[in-house]
Structure 1
């Protein structure tokens, strides 16, 4: 017994000494260009003999912690693709925590953006699960919106209808500074000023800590923050020249705007506020041809006329972060915007009906249709976040509340000669409330990092839709096309994700469980449509440093594209003279399985990447047409059985000359959709190859002059009932800087066309056994905009204005 006790005491004593001789090493990694934390930087602890003892990735705050380290002398190395490697001096580890402080990584010289002289950032970066693009390289977007920035990213395309596609997939989840928004992507991105954006992250296979929503993946918009202590101001003013092509539109287009950004950073406070206003009208024209067959009659109604847009938006974005203590941070963000859009379609129709047996004309009428569609809304978002560091744990609590007052309507007027033969007015009001709560923890474990958490989110819309026809001097509500609708979505989820580095391999593996419940209630007929499901969404990402600046990446995951309330709404809307639009309350969500692998190569003056990817979609949602009557098509949303997409993505950037920078991104894929049936029609599906590319060049041919050229191209694309034509938009921008870049003037030439190239045009064609429709939409070309940008901090530095010395010091 005594011997056992003695041995136990000796073991305890030995362990105590060993533990007492163990310590820890911690620190933070930031980007040298803007002092922003760098997530997923690879950090390795190296012993004196050169052996790597342990490796890990930095967390969302750029921090790392090596715990339970034996006493000794070590070196810490820091790596990030596209950045110069960094090393600490010798670190002596004893029984305490050694803080190596903040390590700043600098972008490798060959990748630096040529636009700014100081504080330069790499135009693009490749990380474990994402590609990151610096917004400053897209000069043609200055004065525009976030949507203008996004459309220039490789493998991302925006068609004439404003629909965003990532590698050909139209569903996308948008984040603003890592926080999801409830609004549809186009609406939200159209409200954020391009000048307010620092970078855009493109995440194709997001990890488990992110929402699984978004068929194509995630776009994370990172806004600018203060990069130095004190106050800084940036002002941009924009004006548009008169239209070169107005297509005989009724009103002249107006284009002007401006934005102001203010940043303040001192001690524990980091504050930013951005204000913007943009009026951006667009002239346009459309021509179309439709025919329908009912019984033994075929009706043709070709059309042509104006299709123009009057639109403006203005708003405020504010963010404040306060450091409560060394281990506590709190932040609050506020977003408030108003958006307004009128779409005027003044169309001339020439209708005629023939007897299919004899071929003789049995009826006809020519008339004028004026269709004014209005969409507007006020949008508000409040974001609260609290972070607490306790030992090896980084605890987080986030609450986001979103409100949108969405309303509008359509006036549809048919005139024969001087007589009004029909006047229809659709109005709607569909406010939205959304709430999100996030609780998370990040903890260092065995050389890696475990992130786990719980999320709750809910949104609700209570819509009122009225369809009125003018009869005599009275406006009569038509019950068949009117109604009230409540729609709600509730999600609860838990997730866990583990990230680690083992020598040259960086990996992330995780899974998310979600319970989803959807309720649609038609109040006027007291009818409920319910849907609920339990789902698991796994994810895996790998990145291997092959040496010689080669890196291999692979990832796989499962995602969901949930239905939006517009697609579910069964109340018909008279979108324009020839179309009724209607949703399906029993529409199913799309479930997506994805996998990809690729290579990244960095060279002296060049960086290249290539990815092969696959996507399988269950229940793909399709917008289809059917015959409602002889001159109206019914546009419906319905599920097909399956869709697949095999693709190759290529891209890169190069600096062949000191004054020339090139960037190119291309995407080629085969898309196939099949298994659609609705009504009395069965469609076998459609399939074809699709490709797109975005290319650009920046020429700094003189010290204060810079020329930027860019082109976005999207080829023909198959739909379940037809085709969408190719869509191409070239742009040119010329920049002249003054006073050491404190002021610059930028001339933009958007949608450039010299000749008849079909720029900024898109034809949409669909057909069935009893109808055919094709419409060519022509959007305004050769738009000229002039921007003047003032960096007030640089101006003050140049002017060397007098300031108080002794008074400021005493104050």
Structure 2
């Protein structure tokens, strides 16, 4: 059976599944009308996460319940009739009203009064009805999917990288690289905007700097609308940090101990009274990381030239075989603190101010052993003799990072119908220093010493304005403007005893500036069961690069690039019934080169592996299409999505040897050919019993890449020749994840989590499959005020990657393990929480999805 037949069968089965699920959904459909409303306090302030219960007086089967979102608003479908409406919220008095529901529309605001003694009592001591909200960990919305990590036991006490390993549609590689649907061009946002918390280049160290306990939810935006910035062709991961909105003083403290040695202490504190809300989040600790990397290279097509008898100079060595193995150990201290407040100037206007400080210090030591098997010309016998050598490189590095960020925002409501204006300004500064010393010996004799120093300074200004204007009950216009000013200063120094001709070029300074002006307009409406959202975004960008180095023959480079691009988006949804819809969308995206990709010689790591920038690198553009289906019932949710992405001028990494007699490899980013991705992204949750919860995801995708890169190299005789690297290829691969949680009793839960990544193959590279299994356990203690958690990451120590690379003159095998098996234990203590394990009186379960809203002005 060939690949085409497999894809045809796969497509038929997928369409068949969609048809069956659609037919089942129609069977559940009721003749209901969509209503909306809000819950407000006595002073007309929205009450988030209040429960609203509609009891039909004629037929209890038509009764339903929901929760308000963080803006105090709710929506649901009800059969027309007479309803008793009960409103309940923590720290508020219970309210009961009666309304006649006759047609779709907004039923207005429901008002509730606060408890008089709220600030003097623990929530668990308040008598009356206690609401237990069972939030679903994964929810599908029109233009994004929301993941709630609160039920993720395995990542307790961990960091953002650990959480992302469990998010549907997201994969984390062995070296910390994050990808979505097999592509690594992912854009990270914190609370809707780029953040100093993630550093300049969004590396693995940045992901490890954000504690899991500070994350409220993660928005997975595989096909962003025009409201979001156009960067990130694979999609956007918007990390929403916790901001407690409960009245009075609330918070928690979490301490973690683990191995490889890890210590963390994190806290989230908030205080809310009257018009003021204060918050303080902070923490950090010490951690050790360990990785290993083995590389085996065999050189092909070695030709031994005929040596004339008159030749007196020794020819260059010809490499036959090389074996490298390295171990790297790093020691990191990572801390961050964020604080701020929000003040309600009036019932319709509020202001917020916040600041973030992040510091990172790390030391690393890498030991690289290289065994070379080569041929050397013997001038006496006039023949090529086999030789061997053993080279050892001992690298010691130190890096530190200090980041600041300040944000100010203003939110104004023109009326109670949803006409809103949000303004925000963010100032960010990030300084990073990386120093290393490398000592190389050959057959125990010192032959080389490298000393490098890389300094970078990033300054960023982001200004945003977002406006919302409702039109009737079903329509809304959204418009906005965003300004990004980003300055990166790079200062590199290299001192080396090697004879590398490019060493002067690595002593350089670069000033990289980019400015983006973005405008968007979006219209959202609904006609019957059909919802649609049309958007258009215009981004005007200017990039300036000033590069200079110490090479006396080099002329400074001053280059300016201007782009003006339109990015449309279309989102359609059709509701077959309540919580049962079909989603179709399209968007156009851009992949802008990273700043250091465009610096001709950005950094020097060692004399055998050279990274060379490309100042002529251009953006890549992607057209993305999705057709999805979502059905949600009491015990299960299913969300299959068929997708297709077409990228032009895709960025690839060209790896080549400019001199075949030397074992020096160069890596250079280039624009090359097209890249097509298509597949099925299936996510589901299933709660068959009260003690068992299952969440899984499956991504089956095909890929097709076209393009051949050509380069000039010297052969063994010193003559120039044209080499090539073929990126053309196609194939099919899979990603799978299964998360199973067992609730053994009211206070104890155990979680098993496994993932599988299928093999991938192109014309020049084969990547082998990979799998891992994690275990977590969590127990509630101290009458609900504390939680103790334990987890093991990679139980069987299988999380490693093996890659085979091919070229016309070499074959390479690479094995990498970023982190071996780890385990940790954490303890959390909560201050004045609204949830309680033992319910004193009446208990009412409501299934709800905490969707929330955009923080600090949204994603513009």
Q: Deviation per CA, 1:326-357, whole angstroms, max 9, x where unpaired? A: 11011122221112334432122111213799
> Match for residue 209 of structure 1?
227
Paired residue for 2:706, among 674, 677, 694? 674
Distance 1:500 1:796 in 2: 37
User: Deviation at 1:89?
Assistant: 4.6
Unaligned 5+ segments in structure 1 are: 1-23, 39-57, 66-72, 79-86, 105-115, 244-253, 799-811
Task: Tell me if 1:490 matches 2:529.
Answer: no
> Match for residue 748 of structure 2?
705
**How many residues of Structure 1 are paired with residues of Structure 2 in the alignment?**
715
Paired residue for 1:223, among 241, 246, 260? 241
Q: Deviation per CA, 1:533-589, whole angstroms, max 9, x where unpaired? A: 111000111222102642111111001111111211211533245311121111111
Secondary structure of the structure 2 residue equivalent to 1:523:
strand
Distance 2:604 2:693 in 1: 49
> Match for residue 651 of structure 2?
621
> Match for residue 263 of structure 1?
270
Q: 1:270 to 1:144 in 2, by over 3 A?
A: same
Q: What aligned pairs does 1:35-74 form with structure 2 within 5 A after superposition?
A: 61=71
User: Deviation at 1:443?
Assistant: 0.8
Secondary structure of the structure 2 residue equivalent to 1:563:
coil
Secondary structure of the structure 1 residue equivalent to 2:641:
strand
Distance 1:342 1:687 in 2: 41
Paired residue for 1:608, among 638, 647, 650? 638
Q: 1:204 to 1:778 in 2, by over 3 A?
A: closer
Q: 1:61 to 1:702 in 2, by over 3 A?
A: closer
Paired residue for 2:402, among 378, 381, 399? 378
Distance 1:617 1:149 in 2: 29
Q: Is the Cα–Cα contact under 8 Å of residues 322 and 330 in structure 1 kept in the other structure?
A: yes
Paired residue for 1:132, among 143, 146, 153? 146
Distance 1:431 1:648 in 2: 41
Distance 1:710 1:549 in 2: 27
Paired residue for 1:714, among 726, 739, 757? 757
> Match for residue 556 of structure 2?
526
TM-score, with structure 2 as normaliser: 0.77
User: Deviation at 1:736?
Assistant: 2.4
Paired residue for 2:596, among 548, 562, 566? 566
Distance 1:365 1:217 in 2: 47
Distance 2:684 2:445 in 1: 60
> Match for residue 731 of structure 2?
688
Task: Tell me if 1:451 matches 2:478.
Answer: yes
Q: 1:117 to 1:103 in 2, by over 3 A?
A: closer
User: Deviation at 1:132?
Assistant: 0.8
Q: Deviation per CA, 1:680-715, whole angstroms, max 9, x where unpaired? A: 325252221121112111111123221111113222
Distance 1:314 1:380 in 2: 12
Distance 1:747 1:103 in 2: 41
> Match for residue 295 of structure 2?
288
User: Deviation at 1:775?
Assistant: 1.8
Secondary structure of the structure 2 residue equivalent to 1:573:
coil
> Match for residue 791 of structure 1?
830
User: Deviation at 1:407?
Assistant: 1.6
Secondary structure of the structure 2 residue equivalent to 1:178:
coil
Paired residue for 1:725, among 746, 762, 768? 768
> Match for residue 192 of structure 2?
178
Q: Deviation per CA, 1:140-170, whole angstroms, max 9, x where unpaired? A: 1111112211121111101012111111121
> Match for residue 330 of structure 1?
351
Q: Deviation per CA, 1:499-523, whole angstroms, max 9, x where unpaired? A: 1122222221110011111111113
Secondary structure of the structure 1 residue equivalent to 2:188:
strand
User: Deviation at 1:477?
Assistant: 11
Deviates more, 1:764-773 or 1:402-411: 764-773
> Match for residue 370 of structure 2?
349
Q: What aligned pairs does 1:102-121 form with structure 2 within 5 A after superposition?
A: 118-121=132-135
Paired residue for 1:400, among 426, 436, 446? 426
User: Deviation at 1:305?
Assistant: 3.6
Q: 1:88 to 1:777 in 2, by over 3 A?
A: farther
> Match for residue 750 of structure 1?
793
Q: 1:572 to 1:195 in 2, by over 3 A?
A: closer
Q: Is the Cα–Cα contact under 8 Å of residues 226 and 271 in structure 1 kept in the other structure?
A: no
Q: 1:788 to 1:477 in 2, by over 3 A?
A: same
RMSD: 3.8
> Match for residue 665 of structure 1?
697
Q: 1:406 to 1:730 in 2, by over 3 A?
A: same
Q: Deviation per CA, 1:755-790, whole angstroms, max 9, x where unpaired? A: xxx612112332321233322112443312111111
Distance 1:145 1:388 in 2: 35
Distance 1:423 1:414 in 2: 6
User: Deviation at 1:645?
Assistant: 0.1
Task: Tell me if 1:638 matches 2:670.
Answer: yes
Distance 1:583 1:223 in 2: 35
Distance 2:643 2:112 in 1: 35
Task: Tell me if 1:437 matches 2:468.
Answer: no
Distance 2:808 2:331 in 1: 37
Distance 2:145 2:202 in 1: 19
Secondary structure of the structure 1 residue equivalent to 2:161:
helix
> Match for residue 311 of structure 1?
332
Task: Tell me if 1:389 matches 2:413.
Answer: yes
Paired residue for 2:159, among 142, 145, 151? 145
Unaligned 5+ segments in structure 2 are: 1-34, 50-67, 76-80, 87-95, 114-129, 305-317, 550-554, 712-721, 838-860
Q: 1:280 to 1:320 in 2, by over 3 A?
A: same
Distance 2:298 2:329 in 1: 25
Secondary structure of the structure 2 residue equivalent to 1:480:
helix
Secondary structure of the structure 2 residue equivalent to 1:301:
strand
Q: Deviation per CA, 1:256-306, whole angstroms, max 9, x where unpaired? A: 111111111122122221111132212332221124578743342202242
> Match for residue 236 of structure 1?
254
Distance 1:221 1:519 in 2: 30
Task: Tell me if 1:90 matches 2:99.
Answer: yes
TM-score, with structure 1 as normaliser: 0.81
Distance 1:59 1:230 in 2: 20
Distance 1:463 1:337 in 2: 20
Secondary structure of the structure 2 residue equivalent to 1:759:
coil
Task: Tell me if 1:100 matches 2:100.
Answer: no
Q: 1:744 to 1:642 in 2, by over 3 A?
A: same
Q: 1:787 to 1:719 in 2, by over 3 A?
A: farther
> Match for residue 686 of structure 2?
654
Q: Is the Cα–Cα contact under 8 Å of residues 692 and 742 in structure 2 kept in the other structure?
A: yes
User: Deviation at 1:718?
Assistant: 3.9
Distance 1:139 1:414 in 2: 45
Paired residue for 2:213, among 192, 195, 198? 195
> Match for residue 414 of structure 1?
440
